[in-house]
Structure 1
Amino acid sequence: MWFNNIPSDLSFSASAKNCLTIQISSLASSGRLYEILITGENQSDWAKGYQKTIWYNTPADNFGSIRDIHLAWIRVRERLLVLDMGKRFAFSSDALSVPIVSQMVEDILFTPQGNGTLITWHVYYNLRSYLRPFQSFLKNRIFQNMFYDFARGLSDYAESHP
């Protein structure tokens, strides 16, 4: 079963009630990090709980492509917003199998830094109204750990698989 979210674009970042930003310094190149993220290369090795991806278009062919990401505890329907090779990858979470948020955008930036890359993973979201009393818990105990693990796992995998 799917719970629809409000479809978003990047302008949602200015009005989101919640924002989480994770930054990881990686020794991997921005191009390699982007390639792994967009193709899902061995994603079960670096994304905790990852199970599978289903594409509804040619994978990552353009703005607007849709995919479902299946994690152990949730499925997320993503609509691609930005595909800027080696620099930026962003998407709107348009539906979830667990009704946690009503609107969500992830915006992942890759910035050259010395001999590597700074990964900046922004997560903009509005919680469903009945979960607002648990905002701090969800952000600090669930979302922060999950997105940190994704960013760290991506970096570690890219560094060990150049």
Structure 2
Amino acid sequence: MNKLVIGSFKEFEQYVGKELGTSEYLRITQDQINKFADATLDHQWIHTDPERAAVESPFKKTIAHGYLALSVIPYLWEQIAEINNIKMLINYGIEKLKFNQPVMVEDEVRLKVTLESLTDLRGISKAQLLAELEIKDNKKPAFIASIIFLYHFK
């Protein structure tokens, strides 16, 4: 996989409206789900109790928290693009988020990103990325959302 390397607003600008790439797959484990439950204090059984989920869940296994699926965006985004010459990156927002499909334990997910828009806000670059979290061997993505990052280029 070739990582996209961007060093300035002008370099970034040429990708508006284009797909930037797709990350490698990441397996979601029960250990990750349990640690996320601990961090967020969300221990709902559908996430953390494999025995109960096998009997009572319509999926017959545990599922990852929707916000856990969102939280892997930065890790997967770094596999797609390397943004250089920045002083700071700020996670600015998420728009039009729709969870389409649950991510089940041991599913493999990857991120596909298109640059929707890039705006120069007096020296700060506002990048709006269409992010789709694909689930291996599943036609429906886990979610689709517009992720907004602010890049402060040097």
Q: What interval of TM-score do these two structures reach, taking the shorter chain for normalisation?
A: under 0.3
TM-score w.r.t. the length of structure 2 is 0.27
Bigger CA radius of gyration: 2
More helix as a share of residues? 1
